[in-house]
Amino acid sequence: MDVYDLFSSCRKGDVCRVRHLVENRDVDLNVRDKWDSTPLYYACLCGHEELVQYLLASGAKCEANTFDGERCMYGSLNDSVQRLLKEYKCVSVRAMQRDDFNYFLHMLLEHGQYSDVKFLVHGQIFAAHRCVLSVRSEYFTDMFETKWKGKKLITLKHPLVNPAAFGALLQYIYTGRMDIDISFVEDCRRLAKQCKMADLIEELQNKCKQVYEFVSNKPGVCVKVLSLEPRSCQLQEDMAQLAHCALPIQLRVGFDELPFNRVERFPTYPDICFRIDGYNFLCHKAFFCGRSDYFKALLEDHFSEGEQLRSEPSTPVITLHNISHEIFFHIMYYIYTDGAELATENVFDVLCVADMYLLPGLKRLCGKTLAKTICEDNVVYMWKTAKLFRLSRLEDHCTEYMAKIIDLLVDRAEFAEIIKEDAELLEERHATDSVPLVDDIRYHIASNVQTYSAIEEANQKLGGLEELLSRINIDC
C-alpha cells in the first residue's frame, strides 16, 4: 500500500506525503510499477517541479543518456522540469544511506577493502574478493581452485577481454547492477558467456531490446549508456550461501531444502572466525567491517589478533560474549544478505544486539516485525520501544494505531503518563508548546477524513484527547 501511495502522491504532486513515505516509512524511491515506470517519471510527466527537485535530492536515479534519464526528459510536461533535470547534478550511489546494502556492495567493489585477489586487465588493476566472485559464478569457483589457485595477482591478457567490460561485469557480480557504454555491450555479453552467467546474458538481451524499441519510437532521443537494475533476489540468495557456509557443521541441520546445493564443495576463503558458545563461525572481514562500525573497530584493534584457528592458521579467532549463537545466526545472515527471518519470540533480543553492534538496518527490520504485533494491550509499550531505539517507522505505526483506538486510551493511566513524559522531554517547554506524540495522533485522526460521518467521528476522538490533556494540565 505504501508503494501504491507513493505513485499516487507523485502523480498528484503531494510533496508532504511523498516526504512522509520516504523519510518515515522507508519506501524505495526507485521502485518500479508494472509499466517499468518510477515515481520520478510520473512527477516529471505531471510537471510537479518542487516534487521533482525533492526526488532528485533524495536519490532518485535519472542519469543522462540512460533509459530512465531520457524517458524522464522526454516525458516532462514543461520546460522548467526539463531544465531542472538538465541542470541538477544527479545524486549518485554515494547519496544512499551509509548502512544501505547497495551502498555497502558498491563501496566493497570500489575500495576493495580486505580484497584477497587482484586482476590485471591490459594495464588496469581490479581489486576483488574471491568469496564474492566464487559465490556468484561457478566459473570463478573452478578457476580459483585450479588454474588460479593460490594466486594473488591474476593477469588477463586475452585481446577480447575489454577492461571496461570486465569492470562492468564486476559491478554486476557485486551489486546486481550494471552501467556500460552501449559500444561495450557485446564485450560484456561475451564475458558473461565465458563466466557461465546465463541470467546476465538474458538481462542484457532484454534491456537492449527495450532500449531499441524506446529509441525507435522517439526520434531525436539518444541512449548511450545501458543500465541494468537488480530484478530479483538472486544476489541475496547468492550471498546467503556465504552465510550458510560460515555456519558450524553442527548448526547446518534443516537447510537441505534451501538453494544451497553448492555448499559442501564450495570454498569461501574466510579470514576471521567468531566463536560463540563454543561454536566457530568462519566469516569475512570485508562484510563485517563494511556493515558495522562496531565490528570494524573490534577487528582492526591490535589485540584482536591474539588467538589463531588451528584448522586455518592464518585465520584469527575472536570470542563474542553476551550473545547466543542463535541470535548471532540472525546477525550474520543480515550482514551477508540484508535480510533476516525474525519471529516474535526473538525479535527483542535481536533488536538489542543490533543496537549494540550498530546495525540500524537490522533495527528497522525488527521494527517492521514488531509493527505486525501492535495491539490494544501493547501499543504504549511498543511506542516506548520505538522511542528508545529510535525506530521512527515503528513509532509512526504506533501513533497511527493510537489514533484509531484513542477513545479507549484516554481512560488509561499509562497513556496519560507517556504524554507527560513526552512533554517533559522538550527542553524549556513553554505552556502552549506542542507535544510530538499528541501532534502525531492528531495528524492521523484528521488525515483522509472525507465524509460527514468520518468528520464527526474524528471530532469526537479529538474532543476526547482534549479532555485528557485538560485533566493532566497540558495545553498544546
* 391 assigned to some structural domain: yes
For 368, residues 6+ apart whose C-beta sits below 8 A from its C-beta are 393, 394
Which of 228, 260, 289 lies at the terminal end of a domain, its last residue? 228
Average pLDDT over residues 199-217: 86
Q: Are 338 and 235 in contact (CB under 8 A)?
A: no
Greater pLDDT, 262 or 106: 106
Q: Rounded distance, CA 78 to CA 197, Å?
A: 43
How long a stretch of residues is the chain? Answer: 476
Distance of CA 338 to the CA centre of its chain: 7
* 265 assigned to some structural domain: yes
Measured CA angle at 346 (ends 343, 351), to 5 deg: 105
Q: Rounded distance, CA 285 to CA 318, Å?
A: 12
Q: Which helix (H) or strand (E) holds 119?
A: strand 117-121
**Mean pLDDT taken over the chain:** 85
pLDDT tens profile 170-205: 999 999 988 888 889 999 999 999 999 998 999 899
Q: How many domains does the chain divide into?
A: 4
Q: Which amino acid appears at position 406 of this protein? A: I
Q: Rounded distance, CA 80 to CA 47, Å?
A: 8
Q: Which amino acid appears at position 201 of this protein? A: I
* 351 assigned to some structural domain: yes
Residue 84 and residue 199 share a domain: no
pLDDT at 96: 45
pLDDT tens profile 299-319: 887 554 557 666 666 788 999
Residue 212 and residue 128 share a domain: yes
Nearest to 246 by CA among 331, 307, 170, 313: 331
Residue 246 and residue 194 share a domain: no
* 96 assigned to some structural domain: no
Classify residue 254 as left (phi > 0), alpha (psi -120 to 50) or beta. Answer: left
Q: Rounded distance, CA 272 to CA 286, Å?
A: 10
* 9 assigned to some structural domain: yes
Nearest to 172 by CA among 227, 114, 120: 227
Residue 111 and residue 86 share a domain: no
pLDDT at 358 exceeding the cut of 80: yes
pLDDT at 95: 41
Which of 228, 243, 265 lies at the terminal end of a domain, its last residue? 228
pLDDT at 1: 65
Model confidence, pTM: 0.77
pLDDT tens profile 15-34: 988 888 887 777 878 888 88
Q: Would you state the torsion angle of the CA atoms of residues 264, 268, 274, 278, taken in this order, to the nearest 10 degrees?
A: 20
Portion of the chain with pLDDT greater than 70, in percent = 89
End-to-end Cα separation, the chain, in angstroms: 32
Q: Rounded distance, CA 461 to CA 185, Å?
A: 61
Distance of CA 176 to the CA centre of its chain: 13
- CATH number of the domain to which 147 belongs: 3.30.710.10
Residue 450 and residue 398 share a domain: yes
Query: The C-alpha cell of 258 is what?
Result: 534451501
Q: Rounded distance, CA 316 to CA 302, Å?
A: 11
Residue 355 and residue 257 share a domain: yes
Residue 112 and residue 48 share a domain: no
Distance of CA 184 to the CA centre of its chain: 29
For every residue of 319-355, DSSP letters joined together read E--S--HHHHHHHHHHHHHS-----TTTHHHHHHHHH
Confidence grade of residue 256 (pLDDT, cut at 50, 70, 90)? very low
Distance of CA 119 to the CA centre of its chain: 29
pLDDT at 127 exceeding the cut of 60: yes
For 199, residues 6+ apart whose C-beta sits below 8 A from its C-beta are 234
Nearest to 336 by CA among 364, 361, 368: 361
pLDDT tens profile 146-174: 999 999 999 999 988 999 999 999 999 99
- CATH number of the domain to which 55 belongs: 1.25.40.20
Average pLDDT over residues 465-472: 87
Residue 342 and residue 378 share a domain: no
Nearest to 132 by CA among 124, 140, 121, 123: 140
- Partners of 156 in the β-ladder: 121
pLDDT tens profile 406-418: 999 988 999 999 9
Average pLDDT over residues 327-348: 93
Confidence grade of residue 90 (pLDDT, cut at 50, 70, 90)? very low
Q: What is the DSSP letter of 149?
A: T
Half-sphere exposure in the Cβ direction for 182 (13 Å, CA): 13
Residue 219 and residue 147 share a domain: yes
Which of 323, 340, 368 lies at the terminal end of a domain, its last residue? 368
* 476 assigned to some structural domain: no
pLDDT at 431 exceeding the cut of 80: no
Residue 392 and residue 303 share a domain: no
* 108 assigned to some structural domain: yes
pLDDT tens profile 222-252: 778 888 877 667 888 899 999 999 999 888 7
Residue 460 and residue 353 share a domain: no
Residue 312 and residue 249 share a domain: yes
* 62 assigned to some structural domain: yes
Which structural domain, as residue segments, surrounds residue 157? 101-228
pLDDT at 343 exceeding the cut of 80: yes
pLDDT-wise least confident of 82-96, 126-140, 415-429: 82-96
